[in-house]
Chains A and B, each alone.
Chain A
Amino acid sequence: MHYESNVREPLILGDKSYTDITNDVARPIETKAPRLWWMAFSIALTMMLWGFGCIAYTIGTGIGVWGLNKTVGWAWDITNFVWWVGIGHAGTLISAVLLLFRQKWRMAINRSAEAMTIFSVIQAGLFPLIHMGRVWLAYWVLPIPNTYGSLWVNFNSPLLWDVFAISTYLTVSTVFWYTGLIPDFAMIRDRAINPLQKYIYKILSFGWGGKAKAWQRFEEVSLVLAGLATPLVLSVHTIVSMDFATSVIPGWHTTIFPPYFVAGAIFSGFAMVQTLLLIVRKIFKMEDYITIQHIEMMNIVIMVTGSIVGVAYITELFIAWYSGVEYEQYAFLNRATGPYWWAYWSMMTCNVFSPQFMWIKKLRTNLIFTFLISIVVNIGMWFERFVIIVTSLHRDYLPSSWAMFSPTFVDIGIFLGTIGFFFVLFLLYARTFPVIAQAELKTILKSSGESQKQHHDPNGKH
């Protein structure tokens, strides 16, 4: 029944029973917030409000308040959009792809990783919306009958594919996440003492009672959703990359973009999961569930995808030379040695060089080092998008229109605002939602719990 090779390291440390898991998961919700939480929340909230102010200013005055010019028409906005969407990918990868591969270590981290997905896709979605300038006309991207007769949206355009991809991704991730949350909300509901808390979790838990038939369907639904989310997540960044790849701009017009973007997305997403979970496990004392082994596994994924990204960078350079196309060659030469050389080499250092430290076991099991690398990788991936977008645009075919881009305080304010908004959502989540999929985790307690591994004899009696 519960058989697992003795060679494997336990995934749940300490002498835990089912109730211990319940208590540990419910603790952050039922106790007062630590001071550190309030400090982080205040900073995030301030940043968010500042960002909202900048968004209001942009909408009120127009996107002329950004640093864009007629040569560089896409800059920080689209950089931030691609960066946030990319970060979101790790959540789906952990909850869907690792479910299909039956990787049990995902269970301790999938809930938070998926929350991160949803919150970062919300940030991503903000940018194309405000870039429209007239946000109140945003519904024009939907194929709805209109006063202009036969005027429809253009289904041939990657920008419209993006509308469909991002909205499908956001909504499907949300229902996937919520379906998994229902049994855990029921657990919180059943132990709540405070009547208000009981009432709220009663609404959230949808009346879940853990009936056998409901569990059978639940498992099937999880499996099918994972099967649907896996190609979905790959399609999303593929389509995002096509926003660039189907254009005829040198530096964008490359067939390598879809796999290169997907690898980069997983790379940056895992780094963000790492950043968040290292904080969560510390503040909420989840060290027994999010173990060094989990951190190490994620570091290995970061190392592998970082190397894939490195190969992609080098391939791009090689193909630019090999193509013999003058414009393509110049685009890449300009990236590495032009006025934005510092952005290019920051990208190279952060994304290709820094993850290589993870080959060393001592470093990839070191928490402080991991935390630093996770931040470095996120900076590097932001620079990657900046390099792709701005350096490809700023020197176009006509040297007389060559320009540089410098962000205004509004560009910077909106970017900081989305970081604040993201952390506001995540911090609220961490205090009110079960941050570990406890029902799922209980299914592996006997096979992967530390004490059970010692006491459990193969006949199933203990």
Chain B
Amino acid sequence: MANIDNKNLVRAIFTDDDTVLSAVKILREKGMKIKEVYSPFPIHGLDKAMGLKETRIAMASFMYGLFGLAVAITLTAYTMNFDWPQNIGGKPSMTWGANMPAFVPILFELTVFFAAHLMVWTFMVINKLYPGAEPQNPDPRTTDDHFMIELYSSKGLVDVLKESGAKEISEV
């Protein structure tokens, strides 16, 4: 297993999404660890086949939404009910609770604002996406119609890849 120490990467190119999915399954059954799969579009079921954990970004968005709601409550309560309560159109302004129905649109909009924007920022950061970043895909064809499995070389790997439908295999 000297190759693993040398960190020799094997890149296998496929030309069909179904083939790449079945290849991933075969490789995993044989106990080979897949480093990365590059594809021009999301392949349904690939994350499960690769054994990736479920993303928690939706939960993060929920938390950001709660934060936005808290910001909205603080903002409306401080400005309308604490700093300078006024009688506006006869709406009760002495407590936030009584005044709350008039704030529902603001509470909603700020919840959505924080949930959406902070989630997208999180998405960019954890995927290391930013303006001008170097392309993450080693082969430019993988944004068109090619698919690439990247993994560390091991014994018999090339044969397995060829059997499972790889069109090109290269070692880096």
Contacts and interface: CB of A to CB of B under 8 A. Distances in A.
Report if A and B associate in a common complex. Answer: yes
A138 B68 CA distance: 24
A18 B61 contact: no
A41 interface: no
A440 B17 CA distance: 14
Contact of A190 (B50, B110, B144): B144
A93 to B, nearest CB: 16
A182 interface: yes
A439 B142 CA distance: 11
In this complex, the member of A19, A171, A215 whose beta carbon has the largest number of chain B beta carbons within 10 angstroms is A215
A271 B42 CA distance: 31
Contacts of B126: 217
A211 B37 CA distance: 6
B27 to A, nearest CB: 13
A1 B18 contact: yes
Given A156-B102, A216-B52, A224 B58 contact: yes
Interface in A151-196: 151-158, 160-161, 164-165, 168, 171-172, 175-176, 179, 182-183, 186-187, 189-191
Q: Which of B41, B42, B55, B124 has the most CB of A within 10 A?
A: B41
Contacts of A231: 108, 112
A154 B136 CA distance: 48
Contacts of B43: 212, 215
B134 to A, nearest CB: 6
A161 B109 contact: yes
Contacts of A224: 57-58, 61, 115, 119
A307 to B, nearest CB: 28
Contacts, number: 211
Contact of B112 (A2, A160, A172, A206): A172
A242 B109 CA distance: 15
A150 B84 contact: yes
A218 B42 contact: yes
A9 interface: no
Contacts of A34: none
B103 to A, nearest CB: 6
A187 B18 contact: no
A235 B38 contact: no
Given A168-B112, A171-B117, A143 B75 contact: yes
A217 B55 contact: yes
A205 B52 contact: no
Contacts of B79: 143, 152-153, 155
Given A153-B79, A217-B123, A224-B57, A206 B117 contact: no
B129 A221 contact: no
Interface string B29-54: 00000001111111111110010100
B43 to A, nearest CB: 7
B145 A17 contact: yes
A312 interface: no
B144 A18 contact: yes
A440 B42 CA distance: 8
Nearest to A205: B135
Interface residues of B, number: 65
B6 interface: no
Contact of B110 (A164, A179, A183, A442): A164
A207 interface: yes
Interface in A206-237: 206-221, 223-225, 228-229, 231-232, 235
Contacts of B88: 154, 156-157
A212 B46 contact: yes
Main secondary structure of the interface of A (DSSP, over half): helix
A11 to B, nearest CB: 15
Interface in A401-417: none
B164 to A, nearest CB: 14
Nearest to A443: B41
B112 A202 contact: no
B124 A206 contact: yes
B40 A207 contact: no
B129 to A, nearest CB: 4
B140 to A, nearest CB: 4
B15 to A, nearest CB: 9
A207 B112 contact: no
Most buried by A among B38, B58, B136, B143: B143
B120 A440 contact: no
Interface of A: 1-2, 17-19, 22, 143, 150-158, 160-161, 164-165, 168, 171-172, 175-176, 179, 182-183, 186-187, 189-191, 202-221, 223-225, 228-229, 231-232, 235, 239, 242, 439-440, 442-443, 446, 460
Interface of B: 17-18, 21, 36-47, 50, 52, 55, 57-58, 61, 75-76, 79-80, 83-84, 88-89, 91, 99, 102-103, 105-106, 108-110, 112-113, 115-117, 119-120, 123-124, 126-137, 140-145
8 contacts: A152-B83, A156-B91, A168-B113, A176-B116, A206-B129, A208-B135, A212-B36, A446-B18
Given A179-B123, A203-B131, 6 more contacts: A172-B113, A187-B40, A187-B144, A205-B135, A221-B123, A442-B41
